[in-house]
Amino acid sequence: MVAHQGGTGYENPFMSEPILQVTDLTKAFGDVMSVDGVTFDIQKGEILGLLGANGAGKTTAINMVLGIITPTKGSVTVFGKDLSHSRIEILRRMNFCSTYTQLPGNLRVWQNLKVFGKLYRVPDLPKRIDEVLEMLEISHLKNRVSGELSAGEGTRLNLCKALLNRPELLLLDEPTASLDPDIADKVRKVVSRIREEESTTILYTSHNMRDVEEVCDRVVFMHKGKVLFIGTAEETLHHFEEESLEDVFIRVARSGEIKPNRGKQKGEVSK
């Protein structure tokens, strides 16, 4: 089991070869540098938060880790293997959930989970389907048509799909974006639980500072494709000389300011 200190002061006891290593990752769409020389790693059992305003490059970075987008430059190494050479082998041991991609809407919930479970060759699939539905507290939706679910229910179904194969590396792109505070809280607890119980390594993008404070061990702050800072929540506050991550987020989003905020009045957010 991995020691966990609620997002601050985290020291990973598994400091060895990282599960995910992203090096100088870059993606240009024409003139737009969506991701610009990004380097970070995630250790086994760690939850890393990828933060940044809309357009910062989070989804593009995640899509390169999934091999959906080919980098303009740089490399992605997962489980010690280069993604560009061992994509299928790596993807079998990973999974992914985004609020913005839905499962086929014409299938029932259990049918969707069966199809994806078979794709991942999940052993004992009927039992696992019941387990993940229970974990996300949507067992009662098992026979519903997926396209008729509410946004929050659909996101939870997507999370069920992402947990089916007990992924060693889980990528979550804004998993709480469409959820009410109660369900968002449940999702955060599930994320923390699977890390505790299965040492799952998780890359988590979010706009929700509460997600980050409660769930992530370290954060990578991105702005306009670049990494501004990597550290624990506490180190981030110290670096930016702010009192809350929300203040850091707003300041970075408005001005892209990357220097410590010397001289700022207590509690004031820079314009």
Ligand X SMILES: Nc1ncnc2c1ncn2[C@@H]1O[C@H](COP(=O)(O)OP(=O)(O)O)[C@@H](O)[C@H]1O
Q: Which residues bind ligand X (CB under 6 A)?
A: 29, 32, 34, 52, 54-60
- Provide the minimum distance between the beta carbon of 201 and ligand X in the complex, in angstroms, as a whole number: 20
For strand 32-42 and strand 20-29, is the pairing parallel, antiparallel, or unpaired? antiparallel
Q: Applying CB under 5 A, does 63 fall inside the site for Mg ion?
A: no
Q: Which residue(s) pair with 94 in the sheet?
A: 169
- Asked if 254 and 242 count as a contact pair (C-beta separation under 8 A), the reply is no
Which lies closer to ligand X via its Cβ, residue 59 or residue 201?
Answer: 59
For strand 169-173 and strand 94-98, is the pairing parallel, antiparallel, or unpaired? parallel
Q: Applying CB under 5 A, does 95 fall inside the site for Mg ion?
A: no
Distance in angstroms (rounded) separating the CA atoms of residues 9 and 122 = 36
Q: Applying CB under 5 A, does 59 fall inside the site for Mg ion?
A: yes
- Provide the minimum distance between the beta carbon of 34 and ligand X in the complex, in angstroms, as a whole number: 3
Distance in angstroms (rounded) separating the CA atoms of residues 57 and 44 = 24
- Provide the minimum distance between the beta carbon of 59 and Mg ion in the complex, in angstroms, as a whole number: 3
Q: Which residue(s) pair with 38 in the sheet?
A: 25
Which lies closer to ligand X via its Cβ, residue 69 or residue 145?
Answer: 69
With H, G, I as helix, E, B as strand and everything else as coil, classify residue 111.
helix
- Provide the minimum distance between the beta carbon of 226 and ligand X in the complex, in angstroms, as a whole number: 11
Site of interaction with Mg ion (CB under 5 A): 58-59
